A and B are shown apart, each in its own frame.
Chain A
Amino acid sequence: MKRVYLFVPLVIFIVLAVLLGRGLMLDPNNMPSALINQSVPEFNLPSLASEERMLTRSDVVGEVSLINVWGTWCPSCMHEHPYLMELTRQIPIIGVNYKDARADAKQWLVKLGNPYVLNVFDEMGTLGIDLGVFGAPETYVIDRQGTVRYKHVGVVNEQVWLERLKPVVDRLRGEG
Chain B
Amino acid sequence: MKPLYLRVLLLIGLFVSGSSLAAIDTYEFADDETRLRFHQLNGELRCPKCQNQSLGDSNSPIATDLRREVFRLLKEGKTDRQIKDFLVARYGEYILYRPELSSHTLMLWLAPLLLLLIGVVVVLVLIMRRRSLVQSTTLNVAEQENLKTLLDGSGTSTEVESNKRD
Question: Interface on A for B, CB 8 Å cutoff?
Answer: 28, 31-35, 99, 124-125, 128-135
Contact = CB atoms under 8 A, between A and B. Distances in A.
A133 B69 CA distance: 14
Interface-central residue, A32, A34, A133, A134, by most chain B CB under 10 Å:
A134
B61 A132 contact: no
Contacts of B90: 34-35, 129-132
Given A31-B92, A34-B88, A128 B51 contact: no
The secondary structure that dominates the B interface is helix
B65 A28 contact: no
A133 B94 CA distance: 13
B66 interface: yes
Contact of A129 (B49, B51, B65, B94): B65
The secondary structure that dominates the A interface is loop
Interface of B: 48-49, 51, 61-62, 65-66, 69, 88-94
Contacts of B62: 125, 133-135
Contacts of B49: 134-135
Contacts of A124: 65
24 contacts: A31-B91, A31-B92, A31-B94, A32-B92, A32-B94, A34-B88, A34-B92, A34-B93, A35-B90, A99-B61, A124-B65, A125-B61, A129-B65, A129-B69, A130-B90, A131-B90, A132-B48, A132-B91, A132-B92, A134-B49, A134-B62, A135-B48, A135-B49, A135-B62
